[in-house]
């Protein structure tokens, strides 16, 4: 759930609740140490709920049945309500089709952090300095959209869709986009600098960034609802640790971009700390 409003002293929660239900906006009125609060069930209703609240504040005499213009509902509205997350997944699917899920190495080389080619049993690639001198700065980002196999892309896409939408609705499109770019580029750079091997990819670094952010932010700002459960957090940490062993490779799951995972997690944690700092500077009620 998403916190949308805190009632001031003397405001009637029941009146606003009636208006929200009249506009088919699912919500819950909950008490807190600062007073009564309105929490939304569906993040896609934030815009409509805000409009209802403004109407209620500005025109309290208006009939409860008066409705505001709601956003479209359905699948299209779900995607349009999280445009950055949707764009990330569309780009990921496009790259997967172009590269045949990582099997077409010639096309894969378009998206790796440095271009490469195979000669005999050897892999040859440019240094990162050479790539950047040629102006191919986009290569710092594009490995995030590369995936190798169906399980790889499905696992990452599901978590981007689940956690990404929640966080995009929580922090806003621009902040979410900036965070995505920073974590994606940072995890790609860390992976290449540490392993010195260009053939890696995936949204896993970003997923771990979302996980770190979703875990820490509600701890720093208790009024933010839980974004990820403790068992899931434990699962991701165990998966991260297993990546540093030979176990996953021995069962056919391949090698993990462990540095990208760890640096993404650290990036997400840093993002949560930054949001907490911003809220404190702004004197937020959270």
Pairwise pLDDT comparison (281 vs 1), residue with the higher score:
281
Look up 204 and say whether it is catalytic.
yes
According to the per-residue pLDDT averaged within each range, which of 24-28, 31-35, 56-60, 192-196 is highest? 192-196
Topology (CATH) of 2-58: Alpha-Beta Plaits (3.30.70)
Q: What percent of the chain has pLDDT over 70?
A: 88
In the set 27, 45, 261, 263, the catalytic residue is 261
Show the 3-state SS of 233-269.
Answer: HHHHHHHHHHHCCCHHHHCCCCCCCHHHHHHHHHHHH
Class (C level, CATH) for 82-281: mainly alpha
| Buried/exposed code over 215-229 (b: 16+ C-beta within 10 A; e: otherwise) | bbbeeebeebeebbe
Please give the full DSSP string across 57-90, using - where no structure is assigned.
HH-TTS-TT----PPP-SHHHHHHTSHHHHHHHH
Structure tokens at 143: 């490995």
Q: Where in the chain are the domains? A: 2-58, 82-281
pLDDT over 60 (residue 203)? yes
216 Cβ partners below 8 Å, 6+ apart? 268, 269, 272, 273
Q: What percent of the chain has pLDDT over 90?
A: 48
pLDDT attached to residue 49: 85
In the set 73, 204, 229, 250, the catalytic residue is 204
pLDDT over 80 (residue 260)? yes
Look up 122 and say whether it is catalytic.
no
Whole-angstrom distance, CA of residue 166 vs CA of residue 157 = 14
What is the C-alpha radius of gyration for the chain, rounded to an integer number of angstroms?
22
């Amino acid at each position: 759930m998403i916190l949308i409003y805190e009632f001031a002293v003397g405001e009637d929660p029941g009146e606003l609740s009636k208006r929200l239900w009249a506009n088919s906006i699912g919500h819950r009125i909950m008490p807190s140490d600062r007073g009564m609060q309105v929490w939304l069930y569906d993040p896609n209703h934030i815009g409509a709920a805000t409009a209802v609240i403004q109407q209620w504040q500005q025109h309290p005499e208006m009939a409860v049945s008066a409705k505001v213009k709601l956003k479209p509902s359905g699948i299209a509205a779900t995607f349009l309500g999280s445009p950055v997350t949707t764009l990330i997944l569309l780009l990921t699917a496009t790259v997967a089709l172009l590269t045949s899920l990582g099997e077409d190495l010639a096309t894969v080389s378009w998206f790796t952090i440095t271009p490469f080619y195979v000669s005999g049993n050897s892999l040859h690639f440019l240094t990162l300095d050479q790539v950047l001198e040629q102006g191919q700065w986009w290569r710092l980002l594009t490995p995030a959209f590369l995936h190798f196999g169906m399980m790889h892309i499905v696992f990452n896409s599901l978590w981007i869709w689940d956690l990404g939408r929640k966080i995009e609705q929580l922090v806003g499109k621009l902040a979410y986009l900036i965070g995505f770019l920073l974590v994606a580029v940072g995890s790609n750079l860390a992976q290449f600098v540490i392993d010195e091997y260009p053939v890696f990819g995936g949204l896993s670094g970003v997923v771990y960034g979302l996980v770190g952010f979703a875990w820490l932010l509600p701890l720093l700002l208790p009024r933010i609802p839980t974004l990820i459960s403790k068992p899931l957090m434990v699962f991701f940490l165990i998966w991260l640790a297993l990546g540093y062993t030979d176990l996953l490779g021995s069962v056919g799951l391949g090698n993990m971009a462990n540095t990208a995972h760890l640096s993404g997690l650290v990036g997400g944690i840093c993002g949560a700390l930054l949001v907490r700092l911003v809220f404190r500077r702004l004197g937020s009620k959270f």
